[in-house]
Structure 1
Amino acid sequence: MKILVIEPEKAPYEKEIGDDIHDMQAIVGGCIEPIYFEPKQDALVWCNDEFLLNNSEPNRMVGDCLVHGTFYVSGNCKNEYGEWDSCSLTDEQIEKYSEIFETPVIVFEQAEELTEDFEEAEEPKFTMS
């Protein structure tokens, strides 16, 4: 199954995994939980369901949820029994979600560092003619 992996502070990347629960759990480092974020419901985010308990690093916003730790995006389709199931992402979905999840969140400590760097920068000099 072709998925898109999103790790904290890294660019999203494509990966092939098996479609069994153990491969899925290995990506997020524990029990998985889906987050339905796509209005068309043709894709899901899968994260560690204990990301708030295991001190995972803040990663990205998914809808209204700040997800911590590594997560991945898979396709969501109906199987031969008419049940919803994970499936490979299309190339178009890989491109779309790579763009959506391109930018990591900035946590408060990082925001302070950016502010300090900005304040230390030399002021531009303007002249009037």
Structure 2
Amino acid sequence: MTKSIGTNFPFELKQAGLAGLPFSWTHDGELMFDEAMTPGQIAAVQAVYTDHDPTATPEISAIEQIRAIEAAPNVQDAMARALRRDLLTRAFAFAKARAVSKGYDWTDVQVHAWAMANDKDYKTLREAEDAIKPLRG
């Protein structure tokens, strides 16, 4: 039987020295562990969950609460994905503006092809996004 997970859970994990391990959870109490975690690490996280009181509130500052929430692997992944997409959008817009400033009336496909061939950062971000996308399922 699962129980919900309250706002204090990330801080309890941090206190137990388990913050940053590759696992995530849902608010309704489902724990999902990466295959890289050892049985001892999984047992330690499950012990924190067993002792967790979902109604408890954190007794730490707001900035510490924000840092703990941002340290959760699922939040880090979402932030990295958003940053990658934002950077790709900006890089694409920059490449398109460069083409227009040089008098080219390129389609988005042409701009993408030019950026892949001439902009190392754009190419790196695009390849990372293309490799990660199918892994999300």
Compute the TM-score of the two structures, normalised by the length of structure 1. 0.29
Question: Which protein is richer in helix relative to its size?
Answer: 2
Higher relative contact order (CA 8 A, sep 6+): 1
Per residue, is there more strand in 1 or in 2? 1
Question: Which structure has the larger Rg over C-alpha atoms?
Answer: 2
